[in-house]
Every structure is written in structure tokens, then in C-alpha cells.
Structure 1
Amino acid sequence: MFKKYKVLKWGLLFITAIIILVVSFGFWFKGLIPPPNTNVVNTLVKDLPYISENNIPHRGKILAVVTSTNTMGNSGKSTGYELTELSRAYYTFVANGFEVDVASPQGGKPPVVIDDEDMGPFDYAFLNDSVAQHKTSNTIPINEVVAADYQAIFFVGGKGAMFDFPNNKAIQVIIKNYYETNKVIGAVCHGPAALVNVTLDNGRPLLENKKVSGFTNKEELLLIKEAKSIFPFLLQDEIINKGANFNEGHMYLEKVSHDKNLITGQNPWSTWFLAESMIKQLGYTPKYRVITDEENAVTVLSTFHINGKKKAKKIIEKLIITENKPVNITLIAKHSIVAVMKGELGNFFDLLELTSFTEKCESRQKK
């Protein structure tokens, strides 16, 4: 009896200690992440020099296409187009002299996904931009688009694209005609779903032997375990099935593939570079843009995965201390959580260390 009591006592003490450690870690981890900057919510276009200053003369028009689907199949999960993937590309095109129209399979006001944690100044400016909001509230039905009016087309991601992009005949016709006349085609994240069923005049799939990026199986399945039963296909699998050379980067980090006039990106973090790659393919040098704190964090994380923790620390120090450039701590912290979800405990602790190191560098810089 006494032994059982002793075992129970030590068991309860052990569990209590674990709970205390977990709670303490939670408070410590939360303390590393800065509170949201509420001032950014009111950002206007005039507050962004990239868009409002040194305006470039009109160069033409680009069409952005978003999904009309608001539910992932029969799952009941809500979806739509990803705001950040539209807003950042939209302003890149506008800043470089292009007018942007927005279309969707059904026209009208499509569903949108807004993730507060990913929102930055350009995204809030988009929400506060009456012109941009009019265009997204009154999208052009894709079968009414006059394709000749545009120099390029850009397919915005969002999981809804998996359902209404692949089999849309109007989308297929525009893509085929653009590709065969050397107009620029861009697609990011789930946006490349628009490409999978396009057949060229020679009878071959558009994607055959093309270097292509898109949302990967690993990225999809980590967040939605039942993705294979929800979506009509996994995007990476279908791109490969069509004969493409799938170009996969690190999870949730920038990766863009550029194959002649076809430019594709793996995920939302690829949007800036993809849009600027489209500008280059159109024959122009992209306008100078101050790199965002999120992009700097992506550089840190990419360095970590390729060259290890020590090199990543050097990049953090160089960016923050030497160059006085911001690094998004929250994104680095998120990747430590991704490491846990993947069962990579070593990477988890290393990324926690990088998160803490970034915070320390920022504190040094402020002094």
C-alpha cells in the first residue's frame, strides 16, 4: 500500500513538473514574439513609397485570376483566394506600370482567405484601397475576358483553385493561347492547378518537360492530413503526372521556377519574387523595392536549411546589426513549430535558438 502511494505521489509530482515546464515554455516562447503592429492596419497606398513615388508610365495590363470556390469539396472547410498572394503581386504589377484587372470563374465577389498573422502593410493597403476593392468585389467572369487586352496572366493561389481552375475551358483556352504567343503566364501556390489540363496545339500537355513549382504534397499534408480525400488530386502529384519536372524547395519558403514564359511559385512566400520575375519576362527591370522583414526571415531560414545554424546567425547579425534591416521573428518562430509537427526535434531547438538570437540582435540594435 505504501509503495503504491509512493509511486502515485512521485507520478503526480512528475506530471506537475511537466505541466509547469510546458506552461513556463509557453510564456517564454510567447515573449519572444512581438505583439502585432496595430498601426499597420490603417496603411494606405500613399503611405507606401514603392507604389506612390517615382511612378512608371503605363505599360499595359495584367489579368489576375482568383478562385470562386468557397468550400473545399464536401469537407465543409471554408476556402477562397489568398489575399496576400493577390495583394503583393497586384502592387508589384501596379508599381511597375501595369494596370491590373481581376477575373474569376464565376465573376462577381469571390471568397477570400485573410490570415491576420501573415498580413503586412501592402496587404492592409489593399484592403483600404477603394480601386482594388472595387475590382475584387466585381471580378470579371473568366469567359467574358478579352484575352488580347492583357500582356500577362497571373493565377492566384488559395485551396479553392484546386476545384474550379483545372477543368475550366475558358482558363485552358487563355493559357494555351498565351503560351503559344509567348505572353507571360504566372501562377503561385495552388494557382498552378490552372495549368494541369492545358493541351497545346501539338496535342501535348503544356506542363510536359517544363520546370514547375507549386504547393507541395508535404506542405499540403502537414496542415490537412485528409487532403487526399478532400481535393480532386494533390497538386504536386498531378503536375508530375502531366510530365513536368517538379521543382521542390524547402517547406513554406520561397521557390520560383522560370521556364521561358511560364513562371510558377511554390507557396505564398514566393509571391514577391514571382511577380518581379514576370516583370523581367515582360522585358523590364523591376522597380526598386525595399525587401520586407518577412523576406529577410525567409533568407535566414533558407540559410539555416542549406548551411546550418551558425551561418543563419551570421545572416541575422548582418541584416539587423550591420545593415539595420528588420527580420520577421514570428516567421522564424512558426518554423520551429513546423519542425515539431514534422518530428524534427533537433531543428526545433535550433530554430528556437535562432528566434531568441534574432530578438537579442533587435534589442542590441535598438540600444
Structure 2
Amino acid sequence: MKALIVCTNHKDYPTKPHKTGLWLSELTHFYDEIADRNFTIDIASPNGGFIPIDERSLDRRDNINEKWYQNPEIRHKLENSVSLADVATETYQLLYLTGGHGTMWDFPENVQLQDITRRIYETGGMVSAVCHGVCGLLNVRLSDGSYLLNDKQVTGFSNMEEKLIRLNEEVPFLLEDELKKKNAHYSKGLIPFLPHLEVDERLVTGQNPLSARKVGRKVLEEMFEK
């Protein structure tokens, strides 16, 4: 079995001095869930090469972050990610789109990511995403021309969460609003920043960073326990 994890290459906000990029726990917590299930796990990004990490997500108190970020193999994958242009889509049964604000600039319009997502989904694979990574699903069309998200139960980083961290004026769009525009059935947890998950057959989405582990667990349940 092969899993493809996609991360952002984008690190700059329009006006904020601090950098964005991958939110580390959204990679490490998911990775930790699937690592012992005999997956070959590849990490890709739109441009390939170095994946920037949001400095605010480098939490040393997070043992799972430390475990995987200090792992030489993972660090090598993060510094030398596969370009989406070089991904052999037909070999993967699982796709996972990580978040971090950077994704909002280089995921939504990426036609290679859209093609990879469509192919994995239409060949019976599992598509999953967390937090801002869900924006990579916004413009995915299936072979019949319909949007993947049309009439699907989904979640993703909420408008309230964006406002609470004061980045709602910095991002190019609000994810919750855009998901609703695609005729997705958006839901969110009652309390911001706590784990929330939505499952619609082979589509699993998580609302925020704390949802990443639950996404991993649900993906395994859907793939191996049904």
C-alpha cells in the first residue's frame, strides 16, 4: 500500500513578518497513525524540494512532533519532497493533504493536485485532508465534470477560528465560505480548535490541527476495518 502526503511550498504572508508553511503536527500526527500499517509513505509538494514549516507549529512539548521531526528519514523527505509533476498517481491508494496557511496560496489552483486527487478518488482510493489543506479539494472536478465536493459532508478551518487567530484579513479567502459555495455540506465543532471530523464514504476531512490524528485513525478504519 502506498500513501501520498502533500504539503505546501508557500511561506510568506502578504503583510505579516512571520512565516507560514506546513503546520507540523498536521503531518506528524497523521504520519504517526499510519506509520505502522505497512504503507510506503511519500511526501510531495507543488514544486518539490524544501517544505517550509510554520515556526509557530514547532512545539517542543509535542512528543509526536519531536519524534518524527527528529527522524532523519522524515527530515530528508521534508527537505527533498517529490514534485507533484513527478507523482505516479496510479500507485497510491491514499492521499492526504496537510494544512498550514501556505496551502491557501499554492493548493486551490494547482491542476496537478486536482488531477492526482481525481485519479486516486475515481480508482477507489481514499482522499483525506485537514484544516487549510482542505482548500486543495475546492476545485477538483470528477470525470463527469462535477465537483468532488458537491453534496459532500466536509469540514475545514472555520471562519471563527481564522478570526480568533487574527489572520482572516491576511488569507486570500475564507475556507468555510468557499466550501459552502461549492455546494459542500460544511460542518464545524461547537468549540473552536477542538477536533472535528467529517466522513463521506472515501472522503475524510478534519477541521483543525487537533483533528489530524483523528483523520488518520478514520482513514485506517475506512480502509482496513470495513
Q: Does 1:87 align with 2:43?
A: no
Count of matched residue pairs = 224
Change (3 A) 1:281 1:77: same
1:72-111 deviation per Cα after TM superposition (whole angstroms, max 9, x unaligned): 2454441000111101111211122212110001111110
Residue type at the aligned position of 2:92 = Y
1:104-123 pair list within 5 angstroms: 104-114=45-55, 115-117=57-59, 119-123=61-65
1:45-84 pair list within 5 angstroms: 60-84=1-25
Following the alignment from structure 2 to structure 1, what is the Cα–Cα distance between the partners of residues 59 and 165?
A: 16
Number of the residue aligned with 1:176: 118
1:92-132 deviation per Cα after TM superposition (whole angstroms, max 9, x unaligned): 11122212110001111110124354742221011221111
Contact 2:90 2:119 in 1 (8 A): no
Q: Which runs of 5+ in 1 are unaligned?
A: 1-59, 286-367
The DSSP-based 3-state class of the residue aligned with 1:274 is helix
Q: 2:38 aligns with which of 74, 97, 100?
A: 97
Q: 1:140 aligns with which of 82, 103, 118?
A: 82
1:355-366 pair list within 5 angstroms: none
Q: Does 1:194 align with 2:136?
A: yes
The DSSP-based 3-state class of the residue aligned with 1:239 is helix
Change (3 A) 1:134 1:241: same
Contact 1:62 1:93 in 2 (8 A): no
Following the alignment from structure 1 to structure 2, what is the Cα–Cα distance between the partners of residues 116 and 181?
A: 36
Q: Does 1:154 align with 2:100?
A: no
Q: 1:246 aligns with which of 186, 192, 196?
A: 186
Change (3 A) 1:111 1:117: closer
User: Which structure's residues are more often strand, by fraction?
Assistant: 2
1:322-358 deviation per Cα after TM superposition (whole angstroms, max 9, x unaligned): xxxxxxxxxxxxxxxxxxxxxxxxxxxxxxxxxxxxx
Following the alignment from structure 2 to structure 1, what is the Cα–Cα distance between the partners of residues 111 and 209?
A: 26
1:55-83 deviation per Cα after TM superposition (whole angstroms, max 9, x unaligned): xxxxx110100000011245444100011
1:162-181 deviation per Cα after TM superposition (whole angstroms, max 9, x unaligned): 00000001000011112222
Q: Does 1:232 align with 2:172?
A: yes
Greater CA drift, 70-79 or 91-100: 70-79
How many Å apart are 1:283 and its aligned residue?
2.1
State the identity %: 33
Q: Which has the larger Rg?
A: 1
Q: Which runs of 5+ in 2 are unaligned?
A: none
Change (3 A) 1:218 1:118: farther
Following the alignment from structure 1 to structure 2, what is the Cα–Cα distance between the partners of residues 268 and 105?
A: 21
Following the alignment from structure 1 to structure 2, what is the Cα–Cα distance between the partners of residues 145 and 197?
A: 19
How many Å apart are 1:140 and its aligned residue?
0.2
